[in-house]
């Protein structure tokens, strides 16, 4: 059983902007040498979120979130960001098969930056376990 982990940093901007991660996660999977197992992707912080989305649905997804938690009407700092992060999640588990993420090519792994911050440094823990 192999265990491998790596911290990857990315720069984000927001609010409510999606940042693709599939290539970064695939790079860590390749580096790990794991051929069959799973990867846990986790983002540090109380306001970001991770989500798997079919390509082409990104804007609809963000629009739905903005209707549920309209960040423009909140008067409490970044409370909306905490709510969105809690509703979605800060981690994902994705199977690894034949050294690749077991995701259809039409899907992307995204980090959702919920806060109205530019040049925000987000740390991702990518943890793999398998053979």
Indicate the pTM of the whole model. 0.91
- Count of the separate structural domains present in the chain: 1
**Strand pairing category for 118-130 and 107-113:** unpaired
Query: Can you give the residue range of the structural domain that contains 74?
Result: 2-130
pLDDT digits (tens, 9 = 90+) for 13-58: 988 999 999 999 999 999 999 999 999 999 999 999 999 999 999 9
Q: What is the CATH number of the domain that holds 60?
A: 2.60.120.460
| Cα distance between the two ends of the chain | 5
Residue 76 confidence (pLDDT): 67
Residues 6+ apart with CB under 8 A from 49: 43, 84, 85, 87, 88, 89, 90, 111, 112, 114
Quick count: other Cβ atoms within 10 Å of Cβ 121? 10
From 42, 67, 52, 47, select the one nearest 113 (Cα to Cα).
47
List pLDDT tens digits, range 100-127: 999 999 999 999 999 888 889 999 999 9
Predicted pLDDT at 11: 95
């Amino acid at each position: 059983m192999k265990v491998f982990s790596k911290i990857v940093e990315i720069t984000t901007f927001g609010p409510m902007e999606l940042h693709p991660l599939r290539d970064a996660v695939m790079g860590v999977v390749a580096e790990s040498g794991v051929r069959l197992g799973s990867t846990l992707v986790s983002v540090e912080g109380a306001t970001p979120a991770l989500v798997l989305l079919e390509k082409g649905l990104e804007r609809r997804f963000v629009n739905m979130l903005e209707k549920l938690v309209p960040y423009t009407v909140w008067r409490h700092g970044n409370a909306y960001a905490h709510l969105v992060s809690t509703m979605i999640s800060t981690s994902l588990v994705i199977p690894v098969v034949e050294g690749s993420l077991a995701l259809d090519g039409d899907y992307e792994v995204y980090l959702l930056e919920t806060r109205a911050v530019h040049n925000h440094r987000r740390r991702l823990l990518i943890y793999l376990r398998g053979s």
